[in-house]
Structure 1
Amino acid sequence: MSTHPTSLSCTSLDFSWPDGTPVFEGLQVAFGPGRTGLIGVNGSGKSTLLKLLAGELVPAEGAVKAIGEVGYLPQNVTLDTAVRVDEALGIAGARAALHAIEAGDASEENFTAVGDDWDVEERALATLGELGLGALDLDRTIGEVSGGESVLLRLAALLLRRPDVLLLDEPTNNLDLYARRHLYAAVDAFPGILVVVSHDRELLDRVDHIADLRDGEVTWYGGNFSAYEEALAAEQEAAERMVRVAESDLKKQKRELADAQVKLARRKRYGQKMWDQKREPKIVMGNRKRAAQESAGKHRIMHQEKLAEAKERLDDAIEAVRDDDEIRVDLPHTLVHPGRHVLTLRELSLRYGARVDGEFWLRGPERIALIGRNGAGKTTLLRTIAGELEPVEGVAEAHVPLRFLPQRLDVLDPELTVAENVARYAPDATYNRIRARLARFLFKGARADQRAGTLSGGERFRAALAALLLAEPAPQLLMLDEPTNNLDMASVKQLSSALESYEGALIVASHDMPFLESIGITRWLLLDGEVKEISQEETAEIAQ
């Protein structure tokens, strides 16, 4: 880590998508010491901003300035399973040189490769241990590591470089409850500038500042996410009061304009009466008529200007009130009566060793939470129930129509538009019905004609969920694998609300405890070699 003052800033930053759609125009933002949570609705440009800060993307105009080394953890991490752990950590060369020196090869090349990093092995092992990866030997190949282990291994590689700035994009997406604890500890201990994009409330409650990215601009809030919510609620309450004041003022100005017009009409009728009766000299009446017309014109202009100003104040007040687009999931009628058999698992053995001893029944509209460490087999179990994988032995039988939304969202064809993807699952649905339903998932107008391959993570989730829920027949068993991974906080809340009204059976594999608790889970299953039912109290202990 550098001994010089560290800073990270954007100046007059412009960036657009290849199709010309602007993302940022003249963005000015600077990140100081401490931990910053970068938040915003899906599609606001959070990941794009991190890529610009990391140098992964080049702005059309303006500049990104970073003093100190920058480490960047992208949202989607993939590692070559054939490489060794020390290669993945980026220390293979220094480590080989260190071993050669210890063996007596004192060549200049080896000393150059080691530099000042004589404790590289010790630091690597300590870092792996701190992140819960102590079982990974530096000399072994990575092999089939889980998604969560890939994230932590990539983070370990970044931390070993001792960066001054650390940029994290949704780092908890693939982490189980245990791995998240290690990540939180690493975030707490990082001494430099840290900017994290996340929907993980517990992680966001560990930051020092919140940077809210909205409409291409950043608004700063001191404190963690809970403090941000309180500040935002106060702001919105004040904004709504201003709307009421502006609406009252607009009504008043309309009323005064109407009253003024009535008075002017009366004066005009009186003047016309005087003219018709010729009670005054013609020149006097002419002067009076011109003066009245000028006065009436000025009066009318004054009230119209006041009315226009009142309308402008109302528009400004309304603009200050947030009306964030959120998923509006209108689930189809999927009632499952209590007691009806929905799913049977019997003496089931899965690939990679997990099993279900005896029989497991899911009856009626039960809500099952499936938890366990990364690599325990949660996704394998869901894919087996969905019929995508054959069990090693035993039975997995669904008795109702089911749909499975996988973590990788690979139910979409990236070359087809959103509307075309939905049509694949509901071939009998009319064009108008598909478009109308897609609008409730925030794909309105031209957005429904976007190719799936160009969508952001949150947009892909919405498109995939729309495709499955519009499918025919509608699912009476819905299985979701880490559904909140790519959703902003508002969309997570809306998804929770939608699933609360779902009348079918539900199985959700997730590490997001607040989300699971919000959707009315009725049974908790822990997958740890075998599937076993645990109490909610035991679940809370595991989450600690």
Structure 2
Amino acid sequence: KKAAALKRKLKSVNAAGRRYEKERAAFREFSDSEQAILTAFDPAIGLPAGKTVLAWEGSLTAGGQLLCPDLSLSVKGPGILGLTGRNGAGKSTLLKQLHSVLQNRTDLRVGYMPQDYREVLNPDISPSQWLQHWPEARTRLGSMRFTIREMESPMGELSGGQQAKILFLAMVLAQCDVLLLDEPTRNFSPLSAPVIRQALQNFGGRIILVSHDRKLLQICDEVLELTSQGLIPWTSETS
């Protein structure tokens, strides 16, 4: 009886082990598949360390309300600058203002990802139409797991995560060397967020991003908090 019971127990343990291995393999396959959510930035992209990307001074106003009377921001060379602050401080407004300053620079290729994607994307046309200037766009969309139907559907019908992918792809195809990103991880899953962070860490140009995501802020070379008195150094310990 003891031998039979031991045999049954061993059989149960072996079955549990096989089930565990299958679950682990499935999880590993799912996690690895997240690598396909983004296409990589060209590793050749870079900026000289001493190049002035931004030297800006001004005030910040939103909806007729003065948020900050005196702001200044100086940025040189490659790296990642994070901007954070309380809700309503004007972070998105500031990033939009910086974009208006930088977008006409002929010596920089500036990519912009606003919080409201409709500022950049046309919701009535398809990803294929919007990216038609780049012949390889459809191939890249396919590698990012877009179906043929999604490539041809109006972008307004796609999810926020899909629209974010399209914005990232446009910045990759345009060979942007400066990225202005407003909450870039907000429409991606927790499994996708590490892929986003790694892609941004590997980027050789300059990034200015707005975020409340602490893990994203940890990859920044410098983080500034927007207050009514201006931009001040931010640390996670004092927030």
Q: TM class, shorter-chain normalised?
A: 0.7 to 0.9
Is the counterpart of residue 418 in structure 1 residue 127 in structure 2? yes
Is the counterpart of residue 501 in structure 1 residue 202 in structure 2? yes
Q: Secondary structure at 1:239's aligned position in 2?
A: helix
Residue 534 of structure 1: which of 229, 233, 237 is its match? 233
Q: Secondary structure at 1:374's aligned position in 2?
A: coil
Check conservation: 2:225, 2:232, Cα contact below 8 A: yes
Residue 372 of structure 1: which of 73, 85, 91 is its match? 85
Aligned-partner residue type, residue 59 of structure 2: S
Deviation digits for residues 300-350 of structure 1 (CA, Å, limit 9, x no counterpart): xxxxxxxxxxxxxxxxxx66753354213211342112121111112x112
> 1:236 & 1:526 partners in 2: Cα distance?
49
Q: In the alignment, which residue of structure 2 is the partner of 1:525?
A: 224
Number of residue-to-residue matches in the alignment: 213
> 1:369 & 1:355 partners in 2: Cα distance?
21
Residue 330 of structure 1: which of 40, 63, 75 is its match? 40
Once the two structures are superposed, the pairs formed by residues 130-279 of structure 1 within 5 Å of their partners are 238-239=21-22
Deviation digits for residues 402-424 of structure 1 (CA, Å, limit 9, x no counterpart): 1110011112111111111222x
Larger radius of gyration: 1
Q: In the alignment, which residue of structure 2 is the partner of 1:512?
A: 213
Residue 186 of structure 2: which of 485, 496, 511 is its match? 485
Deviation digits for residues 442-489 of structure 1 (CA, Å, limit 9, x no counterpart): 224333222211111211211222223323xx2211011111221111
Check conservation: 1:385, 1:398, Cα contact below 8 A: no
Q: In the alignment, which residue of structure 2 is the partner of 1:458?
A: 161
Q: Secondary structure at 1:354's aligned position in 2?
A: strand
> 1:512 & 1:506 partners in 2: Cα distance?
15
Per chain length, whose mean CA-contact separation is higher, i.e. which structure has more relative contact order (CA < 8 Å, sep 6+)?
2
Aligned-partner residue type, residue 528 of structure 1: T
Cα 1:476–1:319, aligned 2, differ >3 Å: closer, same or farther?
A: closer
Is the counterpart of residue 405 in structure 1 residue 106 in structure 2? no
Q: Secondary structure at 1:541's aligned position in 2?
A: coil
Q: Which runs of 5+ in 2 are unaligned?
A: 1-16
> 2:160 & 2:38 partners in 1: Cα distance?
17
Aligned-partner residue type, residue 85 of structure 2: G
Deviation digits for residues 492-526 of structure 1 (CA, Å, limit 9, x no counterpart): 11111111111111111011112221xx2111111
Aligned-partner residue type, residue 522 of structure 1: D
> 1:504 & 1:356 partners in 2: Cα distance?
28
> 2:83 & 2:181 partners in 1: Cα distance?
10
> 1:540 & 1:321 partners in 2: Cα distance?
34
Check conservation: 2:38, 2:168, Cα contact below 8 A: no
Cα 1:525–1:398, aligned 2, differ >3 Å: closer, same or farther?
A: farther
> 2:212 & 2:47 partners in 1: Cα distance?
26
Q: CA deviation at 1:363?
A: 0.8
